[in-house]
Chain A
Amino acid sequence: MTSSALTRPGQRERLSSKLFEVDWRLALLLCMIAGVGALMLYSIANSSWEPWADKHLIRFGVCLALMLVLSMVDLRVWFLAAYPVYVIGFVLLIAVAVFGHSALGATRWLKLGPMQIQPSELMKIGVVLALARFYHGVSANDARLSWKLLIPAALIGAPVLLVARQPDLGTAILIALTGAVVMFMAGLSSRVLAVGAIGAIAGIPPFILFVLKDYQRNRILSFLNPEADPSGNGYHSLQSKIALGSGGFLGKGYGLGSQSQLNFLPEKQTDFIFATFGEEFGFVGCFGLLVLYAAVIAISLRIASISHSHFGRLSAAGVTATFALYILINAAMVVGLAPVVGVPMPLLSYGGTVMVTVMIGFGLIMAVRVHRYAEITSGRGALL
């Protein structure tokens, strides 16, 4: 290693060095995506900052600051906080189940004074942190296949069941898949993975028939045959496809998307904002946006792979997986390849909770990059 500023003792701990180590390309990409989101929200509201675009930008600004602050937090602090965060999240999930606040037929929120928090969002980060923390102290052999793996299975399974009970199928699937990705990245045997995947696929039909609530089942049935009831359950999916398809190659033009402007497209500012974008900017716009997202994923995975600590690698990869799953599930739903589940497009959709979660996640990724040389030697951590 050549003699550089970073090699000098204590130099890495200085705030100026840390800020320099923040991946500003990634930050710029995130700003661009959020900017596109604000642009679309402005258009949907009939060329008005009210009621969405202004709040979206303010929230993003706050979250960006939060991300930068979190990126300064030493990775060993993250390491230490991993289990406590998970436990707090889990307790809050139980609290939601016991005395949560109901809205729209689902119990997802907890009222804390003026604030409403959604513990399932916290749990997305919590599960990633806890799993990374767990695998940090596990040998490669044990990570491949051993009885120890019942612990991460339980770490994933318990919150997933609680979230699915709320019911919030989208988040439950997201947490389960994120957990599976972390286990995979930690080195889970590919045979176990194959058996698990086959088991999951085999379990889908009985799950749909016996576990799901009626409205959830209808969504899936209407996904399989959207034309059966175009004004009922298939409406979202059909209108979304019409919006996207009618955009064509170059789109109808900014502010000219009739599907969203005339309210044919439901949830146009949240879950279906990608369809609105596709209607106004066409295939070219959609492709460009997907390239932006792909760049974010690629940079994030690169950050994960250059980390010196296993905790850093796995937590960054887990957060990246969450982000990628958000994009894939939402886009698949919007283009009609997946049933309608309430998963928004990260940073594009209007909505504070998901933005906070995603930006905390990128704060963690940035922290992994900034502290990529940090050594976390023991299970107890080196800070103490």
Chain B
Amino acid sequence: MSLEPHIFFDEVNERQGVFHRRTFLLGGFAGLGLLALTGRLAALQLFEGRRYQSLSASNQFNFRLRTPPRGRVLDRNGVEIASNRPDFRLLVLRDEIGDVDATLDKVAELIPITPERRKALKRDIANSPRFVPVAIANDLTWDEFSRINVRTPELPGVTAEMGEARVYPFGGAFAHVIGYVSKINAEDLQKAGPSPEPLLLHPGFRIGKQGVERAFDLQLRGKPGAQKVEVDAVGRVVREDPAGDIKAIAGKDIQLTLDADIQNRALEVFGEESGGCVMMDVRNGDILCLVSSPSFDANSFVKGVSGVEYRALAQYERKPLLDKALSGLYPPGSTFKTMVALAALESGIDPNTRYTCSGAFPFGNHVFKCDKVHGTLEMTGAIATSCDIYFYRTALAVGVDKIADVARRFGLGQTFDIGISGQKPGIVPDQEWKRRYFRKSPANQKWFPGETPSVGIGQGYTVVNPLQLCVMAARLANGRKALHPRLIRSIGGVEQPRGDMVQDLSVDHAHVDFVRRAMAAVTTSGTAAQVADLGLGPIKMAGKTGTAQSHSYKGGRGAYGARGEWALRDHAWFVAFAPYDDPRYALSVLVEHGGFGAQAAAPRAREIMRVALLKDPELRSRIETPLPLPALPENAGAEGAAPPPPTLLPGAPDTPV
């Protein structure tokens, strides 16, 4: 009993001692743990702080793609022929909407969605790639747009966006040249490679499908920008950060050489007729007008044409979708006689050679006909009256190879690099061509003499497009340069090479002068004597008509001129340049199955040419020169009685008043 308190006391002391020692240990452990934490915090916050700050920022901020405005297309005077208009649209992001049906239900309360559209939308949303929005409505009115914009906070993943849509102010006038844009399709995406630019997938993006829009798509496209937004953990936008935005770089503007007024007038004068018209500035090769009729409204292609609409366009016999100015091939008919005449002059044939036209010319076992009996003619008269017999015989005298040589020098049978695709080269036949063309049937490879007379009047194998005939007229009018047509004047302000920076036309100026005089005779006394009168005083137009047979008349199917079934009628041509004395503009007009050139083509050419001439300020002053006042008697006495001649030079008359 006496020991117990002692032991008890000892025990207490021992237990207390152990406890105290271990308290220090425990405190030490806790301190170590806290120290380790401090070290870890230092590592995270002090040494790796930068890395985590950037991770935090990438959590916090998202970049939304902003589509760049597509470059505009302008005419030579800066008139917009393809531009952009504001487009209010509604986008959804698959990753941010929870229930597609619920979201569509809510959207449908604000803007109507038809059941079919709803089905298509659900499919589109399900198939959309991650982070790529789907447009569930385009072309909203301001009313609808603001209504949705107010409600978007309740609709996660739905954003109302103000974008831009392509618009063609002139509708169809430039449709073939400019083409159109449309939504990117699977094929285009495939071409873009395995990981396409995000821009291509944006619902606001449109890709050029035809003409300039397609050929210069990359230049017009621009560079996308980005909008910096602060998002929360579920991706909802909390704030916008305008300071962090990356500006979209607009696409480059493309200026064409075309003139909107001439182009519009050209399409207008064609009316319902099918055909094409090309006009060039003969001083520099600029294409002022490149029209194919009938045309189509490119704006409807931007929205996406329905199958019915497209079939209607594709199946119409006058082929609105075909660019006849570049892709349409037609026999040049009598307009080709200018080339035959040049070939004859170059071959040393005297232009005063006379042939007698009796309405028919038997050659071999075939009788070649003329449309009337012209009697005896020399070359100028034969061109003016477009006598076929004269040129059957001239062609035989010159030979097909020489004719083809001259025709090619004047631009026929070839394509020109004008920036857009779609030209067909056509055929300028000669012996070599025939050998190549019939290489599989040796019996046909030989050039038969009986084929040459047809070539003399621009028939037979010969086919050309309206652009080529315009180049021919322009080169005739220029006389010195092998003018090259130019359609693209500048890209993003950078001037493109002009069409007159080319080699000289290898031809005798005297020969060209002769043909030009003959073409002047056509419009003064020849086939186009009345119809080609411009009514612009001193300004006169020189030209050549053509009536090209499109089908054989045999069996009563085809008919000469504008008779019978449309698809079997002759093609009407007119090539011209003006003013005759100082050429500035050349054009070619084709009216497909239009009948006589003088009836269908020449009056249209006259109207189109008038617009170009009246727009030219120098020519305008020449036309509008006030009549000189009668000379004062004393002056007349002092300086002689000769009346002042009509002023031909631009500027004010220098007649003393």
Chain A residues near B (Cβ < 8 Å): 139-140, 143, 181, 184-187, 239, 241-249, 258-259, 262-264, 278, 282-283, 286-287, 290, 293-294, 297-298, 301, 304-305, 310, 313-314, 317, 320-321, 324, 327-328, 331-332, 335-337
Cβ < 8 Å to A, chain B residues 618-653: none
Given contacts A331-B37, A335-B44, 14 further A-B contacts (CB under 8 A): A140-B11, A140-B14, A185-B23, A245-B55, A246-B53, A258-B60, A262-B59, A262-B238, A263-B234, A264-B232, A286-B38, A294-B34, A324-B30, A337-B37
Are A245 and B52 in touch, CB under 8 angstroms?
yes
B97 touches A (CB below 8 Å): no
B56 touches A (CB below 8 Å): yes
Are A258 and B59 in touch, CB under 8 angstroms?
yes
Question: A332–B36 Cα gap in the complex (Å)?
Answer: 9
Question: Which residue of A245, A263, A297, A321 has the most chain B CB atoms within 10 A of its CB atom?
Answer: A245
Chain B residues near A (Cβ < 8 Å): 11-12, 14-16, 18-20, 22-23, 26-27, 30-31, 33-34, 36-38, 40-42, 44-46, 48-49, 51-53, 55-57, 59-60, 230-234, 238
Question: A247–B55 Cα gap in the complex (Å)?
Answer: 12
Taking A246-B56, A248-B49, A301-B26 as contacts, is the C-beta distance between A283 and B19 under 8 angstroms? no
A316 → chain B, closest Cβ, in Å? 10
Taking A241-B52, A244-B52, A248-B46 as contacts, is the C-beta distance between A321 and B19 under 8 angstroms? no
Question: A92–B55 Cα gap in the complex (Å)?
Answer: 46
Are B23 and A317 in touch, CB under 8 angstroms?
yes
A46 → chain B, closest Cβ, in Å? 11
For this complex, 18 residue pairs linking A to B, each with C-beta atoms less than 8 Å apart, are: A139-B11, A184-B26, A185-B23, A186-B19, A187-B15, A245-B51, A245-B55, A246-B57, A248-B45, A262-B238, A263-B233, A264-B60, A264-B233, A286-B45, A290-B34, A297-B27, A310-B16, A332-B33
A282: nearest residue on chain B (CB-CB)?
B45
Taking A249-B46, A286-B41, A332-B37 as contacts, is the C-beta distance between A262 and B231 under 8 angstroms? yes
A314: nearest residue on chain B (CB-CB)?
B19
A169 → chain B, closest Cβ, in Å? 20
Taking A243-B56, A248-B53, A328-B34 as contacts, is the C-beta distance between A262 and B23 under 8 angstroms? no
B36 → chain A, closest Cβ, in Å? 8
Choose one: A282, A286, A301; the contact of B23 (CB below 8 Å): A301
B15: nearest residue on chain A (CB-CB)?
A140
Which residues of the partner chain B approach A298 to less than 8 Å between Cβ atoms? 27
The 8 closest A-B pairs by CB, nearest first: A245-B52, A246-B56, A263-B233, A262-B232, A248-B49, A187-B18, A283-B45, A140-B14
Choose one: B15, B27, B30, B52; the contact of A310 (CB below 8 Å): B15
Are A181 and B23 in touch, CB under 8 angstroms?
no
B248 → chain A, closest Cβ, in Å? 27
B60: nearest residue on chain A (CB-CB)?
A258
Interface of B is mostly: helix
Question: A286–B43 Cα gap in the complex (Å)?
Answer: 13
B12 → chain A, closest Cβ, in Å? 7
Are A143 and B15 in touch, CB under 8 angstroms?
yes
Question: A324–B20 Cα gap in the complex (Å)?
Answer: 18
A245 → chain B, closest Cβ, in Å? 3
Which residues of the partner chain B approach A321 to less than 8 Å between Cβ atoms? 26
Which residues of the partner chain B approach A331 to less than 8 Å between Cβ atoms? 37
Question: A248–B52 Cα gap in the complex (Å)?
Answer: 9
B10: nearest residue on chain A (CB-CB)?
A140
A102 → chain B, closest Cβ, in Å? 27
Question: A331–B41 Cα gap in the complex (Å)?
Answer: 10
Which residues of the partner chain A approach B23 to less than 8 Å between Cβ atoms? 185, 301, 304-305, 317
Are A244 and B45 in touch, CB under 8 angstroms?
yes
B27 → chain A, closest Cβ, in Å? 5
Choose one: B22, B38, B45, B230; the contact of A247 (CB below 8 Å): B45
Question: A184–B55 Cα gap in the complex (Å)?
Answer: 44
B257 → chain A, closest Cβ, in Å? 55
Question: A13–B27 Cα gap in the complex (Å)?
Answer: 31
Which residues of the partner chain B approach A263 to less than 8 Å between Cβ atoms? 232-234
Which residues of the partner chain B approach A310 to less than 8 Å between Cβ atoms? 12, 15-16, 19
Choose one: B12, B37, B49; the contact of A335 (CB below 8 Å): B37
A335: nearest residue on chain B (CB-CB)?
B40
Which residues of the partner chain A approach B234 to less than 8 Å between Cβ atoms? 263
Question: A275–B51 Cα gap in the complex (Å)?
Answer: 16
Question: Which residue of A239, A298, A331, A337 has the most chain B CB atoms within 10 A of its CB atom?
Answer: A331
Taking A242-B59, A244-B45 as contacts, is the C-beta distance between A305 and B19 under 8 angstroms? yes
Which residues of the partner chain A approach B51 to less than 8 Å between Cβ atoms? 245
Question: A239–B233 Cα gap in the complex (Å)?
Answer: 11
B30 → chain A, closest Cβ, in Å? 5
B231: nearest residue on chain A (CB-CB)?
A262
Question: A301–B22 Cα gap in the complex (Å)?
Answer: 11
Which residues of the partner chain B approach A242 to less than 8 Å between Cβ atoms? 52, 55-56, 59
A240: nearest residue on chain B (CB-CB)?
B44
Question: A239–B52 Cα gap in the complex (Å)?
Answer: 10
Are B27 and A301 in touch, CB under 8 angstroms?
yes
A50 → chain B, closest Cβ, in Å? 19
Question: A184–B45 Cα gap in the complex (Å)?
Answer: 35
B40 → chain A, closest Cβ, in Å? 5
A214 → chain B, closest Cβ, in Å? 25
Which residues of the partner chain B approach A293 to less than 8 Å between Cβ atoms? 34
Which residues of the partner chain A approach B42 to less than 8 Å between Cβ atoms? 283
Choose one: B27, B36, B37, B45; the contact of A245 (CB below 8 Å): B45
Taking A140-B18, A294-B34 as contacts, is the C-beta distance between A335 and B53 under 8 angstroms? no
Are B19 and A187 in touch, CB under 8 angstroms?
yes
A138: nearest residue on chain B (CB-CB)?
B15
Which residues of the partner chain B approach A278 to less than 8 Å between Cβ atoms? 41, 45
Are A246 and B55 in touch, CB under 8 angstroms?
yes
Choose one: B22, B48, B55, B59; the contact of A187 (CB below 8 Å): B22
Are B59 and A294 in touch, CB under 8 angstroms?
no
